[in-house]
Each structure stands twice: as structure tokens, then as C-alpha cells.
Amino acid sequence: QQPVQSPQAVILREGEDAVINCSSSKALYSVHWYRQKHGEAPVFLMILLKGGEQKGHDKISASFNEKKQQSSLYLTASQLSYSGTYFCGTEQNYGQNFVFGPGTRLSVLP
């Protein structure tokens, strides 16, 4: 079952923060986050596992709330290079099919 992402789209000015949410009605084993720029393949950002901790690198971090089956991606002090479509991907159990959300389009303006 496809996870739900919100918002569908967001426009920011350089330096502003953003939060993208991903939620599922099913219990999750893992949540992935990927960014895709126009005309390119998705690129991995991070994975959060059931029972895992909040992760981050550079100014992008994420959390996973197991009780709510929800993950959030936090982009701090956004840069122009952050523009693209962000997808969360979920797996309910190890070895089951991996399902992506519909994506959130992020545009960072100068």
C-alpha cells in the first residue's frame, strides 16, 4: 500500500526550512528517503529502520515515529541544490515489496 506524503509541493526561499511527511496505515520495517532531480534517477538520502534512531547528514535529517508509522524529513537552511522531488519508500517487513510515496516537489528560490 502506497504511503501518503505531505505536502504535495512546497516553495521556499534559500535559507528557509522545510518538513516533508510520510505516513503509512501499515506497520513499517523501514523508511527510505530519496531525492530526484528533473530528468535524473532518484538518489538515496537516508534509511530509518524500525527501532532506529533519528538520522541526518549535512543539513538534512529524518525521524521515524513507530507508533504513528510516520517519518518526517527535515531540510534546514535550504540551498538551491535541494530543489527536486522527494520520495519516501517503505517496507512493511524485511523481504517484502518496497513501495514509494507519490513524491513531494520542493522548489528553492534565490
Partner 1 sequence: EAQVTQNPRYLITVTGKKLTVTCSQNMNHEYMSWYRQDPGLGLRQIYYSMNVEVTDKGDVPEGYKVSRKEKRNFPLILESPSPNQTSLYFCASSLTGGTGELFFGEGSRLTVL
Q: Which of residues 26-45 bind partner 1 (CB under 8 A)?
A: 29-30, 32, 34, 40-44
Question: What does the block give as the cell for 61?
Answer: 535529517
Residue placing its CB nearer to partner 1 in the complex, 19 or 47: 47
Q: How far is CA 61 from CA 32, 39, 110, in A?
A: 12, 25, 22
* Chain center to CA of 96: 20
* Chain center to CA of 73: 5
Q: Which of residues 9-28 bind partner 1 (CB under 8 A)?
A: none
SS3 93: coil
Q: How far is CA 54 from CA 26, 51, 98, 106, in A?
A: 20, 10, 21, 22
4 binds partner 1 (CB under 8 A): no
SS3 109: strand
98 binds partner 1 (CB under 8 A): yes
**To the nearest whole angstrom, how small is the minimum distance from the Cβ of residue 100 to partner 1?**
4
Determine which residue in the list 12, 49, 63, 107 makes contact with partner 1, applying CB under 8 A. 49
51 binds partner 1 (CB under 8 A): no
Size of the site for partner 1 (CB under 8 A): 25
Q: By the criterion CB under 8 A, which residues form the site for partner 1?
A: 2, 29-30, 32, 34, 40-44, 47, 49, 87, 89, 91, 94-103
